[in-house]
Amino acid sequence: MSTPWGRADSVTKLADGLYAVGTPSHGGLKLSASLNKKMPSRIRAAGGWYEEDIQYNWVLVTFPELVEQGVVRGTLEDSHKTLRNWCPDEYEAVFGVSLSPAESAERQKQVFQREHGDDWVTIAAYGDWHEKVPEGMVGLCCKQAKYGRSGPERYFLVPTADYHDERLRTPLGFVCDPSPSPNAPYQEIGKL
């Protein structure tokens, strides 16, 4: 069987119109056309394929009896939590709710990017074991929050005490202020 993740090396019928499909690299659930039509249109996957990490959870919350009968593994609570965290827009549309940043990791990230869009946020840190990082310092690779993991990089040295100070950290990373000030004596350096 051909799947969106490659050739299937395992196909297990779980119920009428529902199959668990695995490939060497990934897997998920395959719904028949009739079952797939019952999925909410906002999240209905073309061809009835739902990958195993996140989309799988849409099947569980749409057909809770599959969980209750033990046909598929997982819990409804975990499925709802996963969907709130990683698919907040779709979750709100399907369930008619509004999620706060405290209820969704993705919402929290969106707020962070709005508030810190132009700030330089750490994506990697190097201890003084690195040849370019002096003792008592941490080397930081930073990107602007508005770009996520893409965009230009800048590198800084910051005191280890600052880097580990919880008052200077956010839930989504250490914000490095490159402006010269007594509160942020961070030295910009070349690539680590």
- Which pLDDT score, from 0 to 100, does residue 181 have? 57
Kindly indicate the confidence band of residue 39, based on its pLDDT and cuts at 50, 70 and 90: very high
Query: Same domain for 98 and 10?
Result: yes
**One domain, residues 27 and 104:** yes
Boundary-marking domain end, from 72, 90, 110: 110
- 23 and 99 co-located in one domain: yes
Assess whether 97 and 33 both reside in one domain: yes
Could you tell me if 161 and 99 lie in one domain?
Answer: no
Q: Which of 59, 76, 110 is the last residue of a domain?
A: 110
Average pLDDT for residues 49-62, to the nearest whole number?
A: 96
CA dihedral over 64, 69, 71, 76, signed as positive or negative: positive
Per-residue pLDDT of 121-180, as tens digits, reads 999 999 999 999 999 999 999 999 888 778 899 999 999 988 998 887 877 888 887 776
Q: Same structural domain for residues 53 and 134?
A: no
Tens of pLDDT, residue by residue over 70-112, are 888 889 999 999 999 999 999 999 999 999 999 999 999 889 8
Amino acid in the structure at residue 37: K
95 and 6, same structural domain? Answer: yes
- Which residue range is the domain that position 184 belongs to? 119-189
Residue that finishes a domain, picked among 110, 142, 169 = 110
